[in-house]
Amino acid sequence: MSKDPERPNIVLILADNLGWGELGCYGGGILRGATTPRIDAFAKEGLLLHNFNVESDCVPTRSALMTGRHPIRTGCLHSVPAGFPQGLTPWEKTLPEVLKANGYVSAHHGKWHLGDIPGRYPSDRGFDEWYGIPRTTDESQFTSAVGFAAEVVEMPYIMKGKAGMPSENVRVYDLEQRRLIDETLVECSKDWLSRQVEAGNTPFFLYHPLVHLHFPTLPHLDFVGKTKHGDFSDSMAEMDFRVGQLLDHIDSLGITDNTVVIFASDNGPEFRPPYKGTAGPWSGTYHTAMEGSLRVPFIIRWPNHVPPGTTSNEIVHVTDIFSTIASIAKCPLPDDRPFDGIDQTPLFLNPLEAKSPREGFLFYIKNELRAIKWRDWKMHFVWEPQVNKSSGKLESPYLFNTTRDPKEETDILAYNTWVAQPMIRMRREFEKSLKQNPAPPDPLKVL
C-alpha cells in the first residue's frame, strides 16, 4: 500500500457486457428494474465519461486494456474455444509488467480471457497472483446442457495461481458456481487489499474483472427475487452491491485518498434473450460497430486530483487506459513498439476545460475494418446494425453524426463528403503503421 502521491495505488474494476444505459447514473437504474445506488454515488465522487469506447467483444477489449494496443496489432481478435491457440504472445508487454518496473505489486481476481495455458495465465503475465476463470462464463452452462459429453471437451474450471508457480484448478465452473463467483472474487480482492496494507509502503495494482453481467446472467441466491424483475435485474443489483463492497473495504483500510479507482465495462450490452441489455440512446450491442457497442460506462475517482461530480463527452478509448495508468504511476513505456493508447491524465484532472488529445479511432471486428469514428462523426464500411444481420460491405459508406443522430438512422455522406478527408488520413496513417509493425507471430498458431 503506497502513501506516496507520486505512486498512487490503482484499482480497476471491469464489468462484463454492461451496456451504456444500464446504470442509474447513465439514465438506467430503476428504468431497467434495478437501482444502482453504490455506483451512482461513486460517479458523484469523480469523473463520468459519456464517450468511452471499447472493442467488439471480450478478448479484443481486454487485450487493448492490458497492452495499450489495438487487437489488430496484438492478434487477439476474438474469443476462441478452449483447446485452441489464444491469448497474448509473450512478446507483448502487459500493464502489470509495466507497473512492476516502478515497484508495483499486482493481483487479478476475475475473468482473464487472454490465455488459458501455462505461460499465458495472469500470473505468467505480470500479476503476482490471480483467482478466477481463464476464459469466459458461458462455459458454466456446459455441465447442465442436454447431451453434454465431457470426454470431448476441456472442462471449464475456476483457477488460481501465483507468479513463478504453476496455476491450478480449484473447482469445476458450473451454474452453481456462476451464481457464487462474484461474491468469491470480492472476498479474494478484499483479502489481498488487506494484505497489501499490512505489508507496508508498496504501491499496488488490483485488476478486478467482474463476471456480471455476462450470460448466463444469474444472481447469487441472496439476490434472487430482490428486484422482482428477473435474473438480469437481480444480477445488476448484485453487481452494484459487489462494487460497493470493494469501495467500502478501500475506505475501511484508510487508503481512499491515495487510491485511483476506475469502474468501466468491457463491451456493450448483451443481445441474447432473456439477458438482453440496453445501450440507452445508442443503437446496437456488442459484436457490432454500432455506437451502442462502442460506448460503455467509465467512471474514475482520484481524490484531490479528479474533480468530483464531473462529466465529459470527450472521446476516450480503452487503449488510453493503459497509457493513462502508466502515466499516473510514473512508468515509462517500452520504445520498441507503437502504442495506440494516449495519456488522458490532463483530461481526467481538468475535465471542465481540457480536451481529449484523441480525435477518433478505427474500429475493427477481427481483421475487417468496420467503421471509423472521428469527432462527432461515424463512417461505416460494413453495415450490421444487429448481430448476424449484415448487408455486407457497402459500395458507398454510411456516414452519421452521432450527436444529431445517436441511433445512426440517416446516412448523410452525400451532404458531408468533406468528413471523408480526415477519416481517410487517419486510416492511411494507421494502416501504414500496422504494415510497419504487424501483429507479432504467435508460436501457438504456427501449423
Positions marked active-site: 58, 113
Residue 348's CB is within 10 A of a number of other CB atoms, namely 27
Q: All 3 cell numbers of residue 350?
A: 481538468
Helix, strand, coil shares, percent, the chain, to 5: 35, 20, 45
Contact 232, 156 (CB under 8 A): no
**CA neighbor of 390 nearest in space, from 290, 267, 273:** 290
Residue whose cell numbers read 452452462:
141
Per the CB < 8 A criterion, the answer to whether 344 and 320 are in contact is yes
Closest among 32, 27, 25 to 234, alpha carbons compared? 32
CA 124 – CA 413 distance, rounded (Å): 48
Residue 213 contacts residue 239 (beta carbons within 8 Å): yes
- Beta-strand relationship, 316-317 and 52-53: parallel
Please, are residues 360 and 319 in contact by the beta-carbon 8 Å criterion?
Answer: no
